[in-house]
Amino acid sequence: MEWLKKRILEEGVVLSEQVLNLDAVLNHQVDPELMMEVGRQFAERFSAEPITKVITIESSGIPPAMATAYALGVPLIFARRKKTLGLEGESWCERVPSFTKGIVTDIVVSRKFLNENDNVLIIDDIIANGDAARGLIRIIEKSGAELAGLGVVVEKTFQAGARTIRELGIRVESLVGIADLSGGTICWSD
Ligand code: 5GP
């Protein structure tokens, strides 16, 4: 993944020992060619799974999830962060703390788009504590769908999220791992 590491080094900004700003690559501006390659990487890694849908949470998960769904030839579902009027009772809903905003939000997926016939791949941009991913996992469990695994573009390995999800027996694939952000520099895990 040297191409991805190079872009992150060139355009990422270390904000603190915990947070890396990737607005130029992932979270605000998106390079479509880079993102399509991200999608091809995830599609290749999960090619043996009978995936019927890709799922993520709005908004930063959408570009990598969309690229992965395109590469797999399946629909993309993005969980919405608020209840949409009229969807109560027709939706799966979970309460999730937001790592970057420091607040708790409800994530909502319509029952119309997820059911026991689905085999779902979760894709997200960055994993920190794993709250967003665990919220989606709970929604998938409620719906009766199968979970194929979780793909994240950036895994911060110094935070517990990905590890706790692997400990649940769930396959987690990350394209790059960051072991440390202290001193204002990115230290890769591999
Ligand atoms: P978690 O739920 O795993 O703690 O956090 C996941 C979400 O928080 C991701 O969807 C991501 O958008 C955001 N996030 C977590 N860590 C970082 C970070 O270091 N930088 C940025 N830009 N977003 C982050």
Q: Is 99 in the pocket of ligand 1 (CB under 6 A)?
A: yes
Taking the centre of ligand 1 as the mean of its atom positions, its distance from the CA of residue 22, in whole angstroms, is 10
Record the pTM: 0.96
Q: Is 27 in the pocket of ligand 1 (CB under 6 A)?
A: yes
Domain 2-188 sits in CATH at: 3.40.50.2020
Taking the centre of ligand 1 as the mean of its atom positions, its distance from the CA of residue 83, in whole angstroms, is 21
Are 173 and 42 a contacting pair, CB within 8 Å? yes
Taking the centre of ligand 1 as the mean of its atom positions, its distance from the CA of residue 140, in whole angstroms, is 20
Q: Is 60 in the pocket of ligand 1 (CB under 6 A)?
A: yes
Residue at 36: amino acid letter: M
Mutate which of 22, 99, 150, 164 for ligand 1? The one with the most ligand atoms within 8 Å of its CB, which is: 99
Are 36 and 67 a contacting pair, CB within 8 Å? yes
Tokens of 174: 């990350």
Is 63's pLDDT higher than 70? yes
Q: How confident is the model at residue 100 (pLDDT cuts 50, 70, 90)?
A: confident
Determine the pLDDT at residue 79: 97
Q: Is 164 in the pocket of ligand 1 (CB under 6 A)?
A: no
Nearest by Cα to 187 from 24, 11, 26, 9: 9
What is d(CA 99, CA 122) in angstroms, rounded to the nearest whole number?
A: 18
Determine the pLDDT at residue 183: 93
Are 22 and 152 a contacting pair, CB within 8 Å? no
Q: What is the pLDDT of residues 102-147, one digit of tens each?
A: 889 999 999 999 999 999 999 999 999 999 999 999 999 999 999 9
Count CB neighbours of 136 within 10 A: 27
Would you call 13 helix, strand, or coil by DSSP? strand
Q: Is 65 in the pocket of ligand 1 (CB under 6 A)?
A: no
* Domain segments of the chain as ranges: 2-188
Q: What is the pLDDT of residues 3-17, one digit of tens each?
A: 999 999 999 999 999
Q: Using N-to-C axis directions, what is the helix angle for 2-11 and 32-45, rounded to 10°? A: 140
Nearest by Cα to 94 from 150, 147, 134: 134
Nearest by Cα to 33 from 4, 75, 1, 76: 4
Q: Is 155 in the pocket of ligand 1 (CB under 6 A)?
A: no
Residues in the chain: 190
Q: Could you tell me the CA-to-CA distances from 123 to 58, 89, 181 in Å, in that order?
A: 11, 26, 23
Tokens of 64: 């990598």
Place of tokens 């026991």: 116
Q: How confident is the model at residue 21 (pLDDT cuts 50, 70, 90)?
A: very high
Is 85's pLDDT higher than 70? no
